[in-house]
Each structure stands twice: as structure tokens, then as C-alpha cells.
Copies of this chain bind each other. A is one copy, B any other.
Amino acid sequence: MAGTNGHRLTVVVNTGDDVEIHGLHVSPDLDSVCYWLSGVMDRQRGWGRSDDTFHATEILRDGFHAEDAWFNLGDRDLATHLFRTRLLRDGLGLSAATAAVAEGLGIQWTILPMSEDPVTTTVEILDESGAARTLHFQEYWVLRRAADRALAVRYLGVERARPAPGVLAAIGEADVIVVCPSNPVASVGPILAVPGVRDALAARCDRVVGISPIVAGAPLTGMADKLMPVAGLEVSAAGAARAYEGLLAAWVVDEADRDLAPKIEEQLAVRVAVAETIMSDDEVAEALAKTALELVS
């Protein structure tokens, strides 16, 4: 991973899809951020650590038929969950546990969970029999591969969740705030739903630049197209921008969406820039970051 050229970087991360697997506290988004920033991410697969093995999970699934074995945890990845869970059981908060994980991975930047209080993203679906059921986001996403008809997404507990220490200060003090190209409903939505976060961002909206996760009408990775309609959002670079209405000074769309730029500028009153947003290598990622930073500097 490229460095930040001397700039300080604080990442505020969704914990709504945290899940207990085999009794371990798994924080998929915190881990993805930490693995990317420490250079151990499996870039091909898009989750977990590179060169990982799955010996424990294979035995849990095939030998023990453990109920959580649908959630694939690599052996190297397990180290993170074991370490974090132990720290949490010892009484540390998720912020301190996250800092310890980041330090163990050699990360010099600040990684903050959005909240230390439990928030659980759930998806209400219609199952095969036509009955409504509520699933943990990971069950919907990983186990059932977003194949069910989704009716609603909720962030359980979010109304009582407090921003984790440092979150509001980071938003208040940042020179530039980047809303990364991520699922606006599943990944960014929970963060914005933590009381205080949306207002803090709105107060700094002249410093906020977002990057569209939707390119040419489809999510670049993941299945954001499944959940955006549930939240009333069109699956387009314009629809994703609308998720952040009132929070953005600028919005970056991919070159494939150049035609949408004028419409977004007009409808949302934001500056729209066009850039190569598909981060196929570090150079593209760096250029994109530079574009985003310059838009609000």
C-alpha cells in the first residue's frame, strides 16, 4: 500500500456487519481496512488475508458441522479474531482492540470503529415461502449471497450507539473527508446513522468529497445494487450521490459516467469530477485520492 506522503490518515469504519462466528468477534470491515492498509489483503478475492489457508474452517464445516462454518475464516485471519476477541473479553473497548490489531499489523494510521456500542445491520427479506424474515446482514450477504428479495435494511441499536472516541473529533478536524466508494446502504449508511455523525459531517460538508461506488449503473464490487433500491436509491452514480445529499462538496464519478455529471451537479448542487475510479493498481488509487483531495482543498 502506498503511503500518505506525510499526511495523517484516520479511517472511520462500519461495524454494523460485525458478527460472532464460532464465538469470536469478527469485524469484517475493520479487518478489510486493516488488511488493505498493512498490505496483507487478498486483493484478488476482495476479503481476508492473502496466501491464507482455511484448514480450521474446513474441519469446522466438514468434520464438526459447526453452525457458523458458512462464514469462511482463513487461518491467518483467525489470528485477528482470536486476538481481538480476547482483548474484548479482557474488558477493552472495540477502539482499543482495533488499535491493538492495527499496531500488530504494523499500521501507522488511526483506524476507528464508528462506535463501540453494538450496532447490527439486518436485512428483512421474503423467504422462499413468501414469509418475511429478518437476517443478520452477513447471513443475507455471505450465506445467502443476497439472493433473497430484500424489503428493508435496519441498523439495530444504532439509536443508542455513541460515536467511538475520536470519531467526531476526526470529522471536525480533518482537512479533507473522503466518503470512500463503498456500499452506501450496508457500509456507509450505518456510520451516518450513528447519532451525531451525520450532523458532524454536514457541519464540515465543504470538506467532504465522495467517490461513487457505482460505475455504469452497477457496483464495482459487492452487491450494492441489491440494497440501494430498498433504501430508495437508484443504482447509479447519481443515486449513490443522493445517499449523501447535504453532506458533499464534491463527488467523483467514473469516466464511464461522464454523461451523468451535469445532472448530478444540478440536482445535488455539488461539484462533480470525472476520474478513473476503478483502482486496479496503486497508481490509479493514488491518482484517484489526489483528485479527491484536490477537489476540496
Contacts and interface: CB of A to CB of B under 8 A. Distances in A.
Interface of A: 22-24, 52-53, 55-60, 63-66, 68, 74-76, 78-80, 82-83, 85-86, 89, 100-101, 104-106
A83 B104 contact: no
Nearest to A55: B75
Contacts of A78: 56, 75, 78
Given A22-B85, A60-B82, A68-B86, 11 more contacts: A23-B82, A23-B85, A55-B74, A56-B75, A56-B78, A63-B104, A63-B105, A64-B101, A65-B104, A66-B82, A66-B86
Given A53-B53, A64-B104, A104-B65, A59 B85 contact: no
Contacts of A104: 63-65
Contacts of A58: 79
Q: How many copies does the complex hold?
A: 2
A46 to B, nearest CB: 20
A64 B57 CA distance: 21
B83 A22 contact: yes
Nearest to A61: B79
Nearest to A82: B22
Nearest to A86: B23
Contacts of A22: 82-83, 85-86
A225 B165 CA distance: 54
A55 B76 contact: yes
Contacts of A23: 82, 85-86, 89
B63 A82 contact: no
Contact of A60 (B24, B55, B79, B89): B79
A83 B7 CA distance: 44
A59 to B, nearest CB: 4
B79 A59 contact: yes
A257 to B, nearest CB: 40
A42 to B, nearest CB: 14
A160 to B, nearest CB: 25
A83 B101 contact: no
Nearest to A65: B104
Contacts of A101: 64
A106 B59 CA distance: 12
A284 B83 CA distance: 43
Contacts of A55: 52-53, 74-76, 79
B59 A76 contact: yes
Contacts of A53: 53, 55, 75
A106 B56 CA distance: 17
A99 B89 CA distance: 27
A19 to B, nearest CB: 14
A66 B103 CA distance: 12
